[in-house]
């Protein structure tokens, strides 16, 4: 496995824990990722692949996630930021995993969508994001709101059942990183974190286990890699 930290783009298909172990200490400027929520999410009408590692007993899920969180803390530079998307039922678990890894959980951000999902009693219209520190990051030029309004990805643009919109990811990474910084997403999904990073002149390392999604990621990221100016 070859990872060149000086490259604009590193995409790796495989187990993110094994990939993370290959990264040097304090080599990443910002982490922005959407791990499985462990909710056994079933995409509507079988349109997309089932989310991997999303249906475990909670003790097994902790055994799966905690070593990954520990590695993420290790590879993140001092005085830097990590964002972890999470769902309602997994929010407290990810808080625990982050704290145990060494992160300071600074705040919970709320992404409010333009339409709501499916539910029998409550139809969810938001997701949660843990805003975590390693050390004391510098202040942004302007503080962001804890509530973020961003449209869901729908229609022909939807390539993953839990796809995050590029404008939402840009909203998170732009104030807390700078051009040339190295962004990491160990759970890429459809790769929109990579697209947002490349679009805004950041370098990117991404990992995805599911093969069909990895082909989508390569296609989408290559578009921005080719269009972005060189550093």
pLDDT number for residue 28:
98
Domain ranges of the chain: 9-227
- Inter-helix orientation angle 211-227/192-199, to 10°: 10
Tens-level pLDDT at each residue, the chain (231 residues): 678 999 999 999 999 999 999 999 999 999 999 998 755 455 454 555 555 545 557 788 889 899 999 999 999 999 999 999 998 778 899 999 999 999 999 999 999 988 887 778 988 889 999 999 999 999 999 999 999 999 886 654 545 456 689 999 999 999 999 999 999 999 988 889 999 999 999 999 999 888 777 888 888 777 776 665 544
- Structurally, at CATH architecture level, domain 9-227 sits in 3-Layer(aba) Sandwich (3.40)
pLDDT number for residue 200:
95
Sequence-distant (6+) residues with CB within 8 A of 50 are 41, 42, 43
User: What burial class does residue 130 get, using C-beta atoms within 10 Å of its C-beta: 0-12 exposed, 13-18 middle, 19+ buried?
Assistant: buried
Considering only CA atoms, which of 203, 205, 198, 204 is closest in space to residue 228? 198
CA distance 156 to 141: 36
Q: Are 112 and 98 in contact (CB under 8 A)?
A: no
pTM strictly above 0.85: yes
């Amino acid at each position: 496995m070859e990872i060149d930290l000086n490259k604009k783009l590193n995409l790796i298909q495989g187990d993110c824990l094994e990939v993370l172990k290959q990264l040097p200490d304090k080599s990443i400027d910002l982490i922005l990722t959407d791990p499985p929520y462990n909710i056994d999410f079933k995409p509507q009408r079988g349109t997309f692949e089932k989310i991997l590692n999303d249906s475990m007993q909670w003790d097994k899920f902790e055994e799966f996630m905690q070593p990954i969180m520990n590695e993420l803390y290790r590879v993140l530079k001092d005085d830097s930021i990590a964002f972890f998307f999470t769902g309602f039922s997994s929010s407290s678990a990810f808080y625990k995993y982050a704290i145990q890894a060494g992160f300071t959980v600074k705040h919970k951000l709320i992404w409010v969508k333009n339409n709501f999902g499916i539910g029998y009693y409550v139809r969810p219209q938001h997701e949660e994001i843990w805003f975590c520190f390693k050390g004391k990051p510098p202040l942004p030029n302007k503080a962001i709101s804890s509530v973020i309004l961003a449209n869901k990805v729908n229609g022909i643009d939807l390539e993953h059942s839990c796809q995050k919109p590029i404008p939402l990811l840009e909203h998170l990474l732009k104030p807390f990183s700078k051009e040339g910084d190295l962004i990491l997403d160990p759970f890429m999904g459809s790769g929109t974190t990579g697209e947002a990073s490349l679009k805004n002149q950041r370098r990117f390392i991404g990992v995805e286990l599911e093969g069909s999604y990895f082909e989508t990621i390569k296609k989408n990221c290559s578009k921005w890699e080719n269009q972005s100016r060189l550093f």
